[in-house]
Amino acid sequence: VEYVADESDGVVKIFVERDLSWSDSRFSVGYSTSDLSAIGVDSTKFEECMSVPSPNRDGCGDYEQSSGEVTFAAGEQHAYFVIRIMDDRCNEDHLEYVQLSLHQIGGSPLRGEGYRAQLRIDDDDWPENELTITSCTGGIG
């Protein structure tokens, strides 16, 4: 599965589905993000970057690294978690991908096609905005 978000979306919901034949009780599964070609930053850095205007977000990464648990209520087939996306004014000429992984709480990663997904973050700094786009190389810290 590939989820797609535009930089300007700010957040993206990642939906997880379970088989209804196993849905008679509450169930939790762990999730985490990891860099592929996108660059993740921790929550402290993400918050620091959000406090400055988007043209000054050079070096702020592409998304907030996250991990946690998503819980299905009894009888519930779908649940979701949220990943925050960084909007900057940097012209990025390549696709940016984040690995999305599920794992057993307190255990190993879940393996197989049904447990693997990625998030593609599309740049929103298109050529028609040429006067406001910069090629970023530094950072705010």
* Mean pLDDT value of segment 26-38: 95
- pLDDT 10s digits, 1-15: 899 999 989 999 999
Q: Give the Cβ contact number of residue 141 at 10 Å.
A: 8
Q: How far is CA 130 from CA 80, 118, 124, 126, 133, in A?
A: 36, 29, 12, 7, 5
Residue 79 CA to its chain's centroid (Å): 16
Give Cα 45 distance to the centre of its chain.
Answer: 15
For 80-121, write each residue's pLDDT tens digit.
Answer: 999 999 988 777 778 899 999 999 998 888 888 778 899 999
- Of residues 21 and 85, more confidently modeled: 85
31-41 burial: b if 16+ Cβ within 10 Å, else e: bebeebebebb
CA distances from 28 to 8, 47, 64, 72, 130 (A): 30, 27, 22, 6, 46
Of the candidates 115, 128, 96, which has an alpha carbon nearest to the alpha carbon of residue 4? 96
